[in-house]
Copies of this chain bind each other. A is one copy, B any other.
């Protein structure tokens, strides 16, 4: 049962995907959510409050779709799980697009906003470590430092490719192909062990 707040947050995620964090206008959000502007201020205090809650909302949702799998799906090999985790972010679905857009906005905003830096650096580190762990399962004989470096490269590349996709400089199939090639190359470099 979607509460009014949730309904507004869902609308906010859509508006941010369409206009960006800086392009979010309270009036447009109100129209998208089908409520009055006054109601938004009633629930969220001010525009910044909307932004804060929306970014929480989006990152919670992202964690869900990244982690969740159907219980009756066949278990994946470590390599497939690695590929799945990385390629999941290169899909043209509403959820992924909204999430990637928000992530790109956060990354770009953090360049000018001290406050965002720490949270974003921590989230990045967690993500890198998760990928490094998957690499460790595929190539257990390689040293941890090599896993870490490869994970940093793969995740940074993914961010770069996402931005190119969202900014219309490349297509999803092409980005996926490039990402897949990078995974193969990194695994090769980590040895056939």
Interface size on A, residues (CB 8 A): 44
A108: min CB distance to chain B, Å: 4
User: Oligomeric state, in number of copies?
Assistant: 2
Q: Is A140 an interface residue (CB 8 A)?
A: no
The residue from B18, B20, B124, B153 contacting A181, defined by CB atoms under 8 A apart? B153
Interface residues of A in 136-183 (CB under 8 A from B): 149, 152-153, 155-161, 163-164, 166-170, 177-178, 181-182
A163, A167, A177, A186, most chain B CB atoms within 10 A: A167
Give the contacting residue for A167; candidates B111, B168, B182, B189; CB below 8 A.
Answer: B111
Interface on chain A toward B: helix, strand, loop, or mixed SS?
A: helix
* B167 near A120: Cβ-Cβ < 8 Å: yes
Query: Which of chain B's residues have a CB closer than 8 A to the CB of A19?
Result: 112
Chain B residues with Cβ below 8 Å from A182 are 153
Q: Which residues of A does B touch, CB under 8 Å?
A: 18-20, 22-23, 101, 104-105, 107-112, 117, 120-121, 124-125, 149, 152-153, 155-161, 163-164, 166-170, 177-178, 181-182, 185-186, 188-189
